[in-house]
Homo-oligomer: A and B are copies of this chain.
């Protein structure tokens, strides 16, 4: 059992949670909670699990570490003292288990080759809760995948991972260096790319999303950047009553993605 915070594995785990660069270097991220960690195992991505002593005694008391490992697709098992578990947990009420998980990796070409051909693009989206909710909604609305500009928040940030509710393992996503160049490339393949903007000229439900389409959602404070807006096929607007200046980014994404799904259903 690990009971010291200076244990090199614990130090590495904390770095993986706090530091996007560390995650990129090791190509790993951290899941928290039984459900999400089991999901990581079921997708063959789980490498190692850290289980708090309380949960271990409660769930697996009679079993050897080897048997627990088998339940999690052969991941290495480490038991940690309750004190350490609470230190490494990112949540207020720790569930008692964390997993070190291999990042899923997709290329832009893989994503663009999906036959449904309906894409979400994020231009410098910054809020982790928004990104998690958007990935979750993307799965529900049946998107082909999500394309993020390099300035967007890291999808492997623990808060994003939690709020995807598992969609992180099921919705393909990719970061691109230059989103407007990616849009030009998409247009070259016959995909129309629409950006949600306050000054959009077309109502979002007047677009035909049954054709190959992309939907761009901008930054929470500043919207879609000038450069990206210049490369769009069209600028769309979600009508707003009252004196509201804007919708929440995850809500705007949901409204347009579900309009696309509605049109595609029939």
A residues near B (Cβ < 8 Å) are 129, 133, 136-137, 139-142, 163, 165-167, 170-171, 203, 205, 238-248, 250-251, 254-255, 258-259, 261-262, 265
A245: nearest chain-B partner, CB-CB: B165
The answer to whether B244 and A261 have CB atoms under 8 Å apart is no
Question: A129-B129, A248-B133 in contact; A142/B254 too (CB < 8 A)?
Answer: no
Inter-chain contact B258/A238, CB cutoff 8 Å: yes
Known: A238-B258, A239-B265, A242-B171. A247 touches B140 (CB 8 A): yes
**Copies of this chain in its oligomeric complex:** 2
Report chain B residues within 8 Å CB of A170: 242-243
Residues in B with CB closer than 8 Å to A259 are 258, 262
A234 to chain B, nearest CB (A): 18
Q: Which residues from chain B contact A167 at a C-beta distance below 8 Å?
A: 242, 244
Whether the Cβ atoms of B247 and A136 lie closer than 8 Å is yes
Which of A142, A242, A246: most chain B Cβ within 10 A?
Answer: A242
- Complex Cα distance A174/B265, Å? 36
Within the complex, which residue of B243, B246, B261 is in contact with A239, where a contact is CB–CB below 8 Å? B261
A35 CB to closest chain B CB (Å) equals 10
B139 near A241 with CB under 8 A, answer yes
> When chains A and B are docked, how far (Å) is the Cα of A244 from the Cα of B141?
10
CA distance A85 to B140 in the complex (A): 43
The reply to whether A244 and B205 form a contact with Cβ atoms under 8 Å apart is no
Residues of B within 8 A of A250 (CB): 133, 248, 250-251
Bound form: Cα–Cα A244–B243 in Å? 34
Known: A251-B250, A254-B254. A240 touches B140 (CB 8 A): yes
**Which of B251, B261, B265 makes the CB contact (< 8 A) with A254?**
B251
